[in-house]
Amino acid sequence: MKITVIAGGVGGARFVRGVREHVRRSAEEHTIDVVVNTGDDWWLAGLRIWPDHDSVLYTLAGQNDEERGWGRRGESERVSAELRTWGVTPEWFTLGDLDLGTHIARTAWLRAGETPTEVARRLGARWDLGVTLHPATDDEIDTHIVTPDGERLHFQEWWTRHRARMPVEQFVQQGIEAARPSPAALAAIAGADVILLAPSNPVVSIGPVLSIPGVRDALAAASAPIVGVSPIIGGAAVRGMAEACLAVIDVSADAGAVARHYGARGAGGVLDGWLVGEEDAQAIAGIEAAGIAARAVPLWMKDANTSAALAADALDLALTLADVG
């Protein structure tokens, strides 16, 4: 079975790890393609940083810092101190020594003319990930926030320096109008037997992927059922600051509202099915009324078992929908 996951950062990485774990436990042949968000990406100290991609890469490689949720395990910060002293990186954004290795290699390949898709292939080849990572687009679509008084800030500054506390008028993906989905991302969507939306931030992780001209059409045309997993459990985001982001686009932080935000595929949206936490079972009626099949299952990904079980639940709903589709 060909599984394609649309994912962002930490929550997405954990979910993809669960899908891989489930697949490893099942006898059937599977491939897993991950279409990863590039809206978090930015240039810093002349290096191209891919936070969401690197979260998935390091997590699947077993090289991630599980506590911090980003960067490499066993990291040191000798060069980072020098970069700060030279003033090329700010106090509020740390590039660890091992992590710098990734950014320098990536930037060297990009400067040599390789596409982000090709660079992602090279980075992933170093470890036995069990999945293939595809940047959603080979174009730059860096997310910026626009404050109520019109000031523009890269998402990373808002997120890491201001911890999402600075008021936001709107999120914009800079350059989105001219962006196109990467050919690999389109192939992963068109060729999938099942498409899953990871429980990533709907606004700054899944949102930018869906805003790339052509992605929504590709999802609408996909023969695979599309099932998403709620990033909100019991009215609160599992990680990160999804509530702050949802408030900006006037979507309430609840499992049903996020499903309706994505919309039913039959009504111009992207979802056929949606998983909510057992705590949110009362949301199911409203989700089904919007034309989206829904189930309440355990959503907390505490370890390999719970992550694999969540993946199994998502695939099970997708296959049920494929049968009736």
Q: Would you tell me which residues interact with ligand FO1 (CB under 6 A)?
A: 9, 40, 49, 51-52, 54-55, 70-71, 93-95, 99, 156, 159-160
Give the shortest CB-109-to-ligand FO1 separation in angstroms.
17
CA end-to-end span of the chain, whole Å?
17
Q: Distance between CA atoms of 183 and 32, rounded to whole angstroms?
A: 16
Nearer to ligand FO1, 94 or 308 (CB): 94
The DSSP letter of residue 250 is T
Structure tokens that stand for 50 in this block: 């891919």
What is the separation of C-alpha 246 from the centre of its chain, rounded to a whole number of angstroms? 15
Strands (E), the chain: 2-7, 31-36, 42-44, 47-49, 132-135, 143-146, 152-154, 170-173, 194-197, 226-229, 232-233, 236-237, 273-277, 293-297
Residue whose CB is nearest to ligand FO1 in the complex, by number: 9
Give the shortest CB-54-to-ligand FO1 separation in angstroms.
4
Give the shortest CB-261-to-ligand FO1 separation in angstroms.
19
Q: Distance between CA atoms of 35 and 197, rounded to whole angstroms?
A: 10
Nearer to ligand FO1, 141 or 186 (CB): 141
Nearer to ligand FO1, 156 or 182 (CB): 156
The DSSP letter of residue 130 is S
Give the shortest CB-152-to-ligand FO1 separation in angstroms.
17
Per DSSP, the three-state class of 297 is strand
Nearer to ligand FO1, 4 or 89 (CB): 89
Nearer to ligand FO1, 70 or 171 (CB): 70
Query: How would you label 262-296 residue by residue, b for 16+ Cβ within 10 Å and e otherwise?
Result: bbbbeeebbbbbbbbbebbeebbebbeebebbbbb
Give the shortest CB-163-to-ligand FO1 separation in angstroms.
8
Give the shortest CB-231-to-ligand FO1 separation in angstroms.
12
Nearer to ligand FO1, 7 or 264 (CB): 7
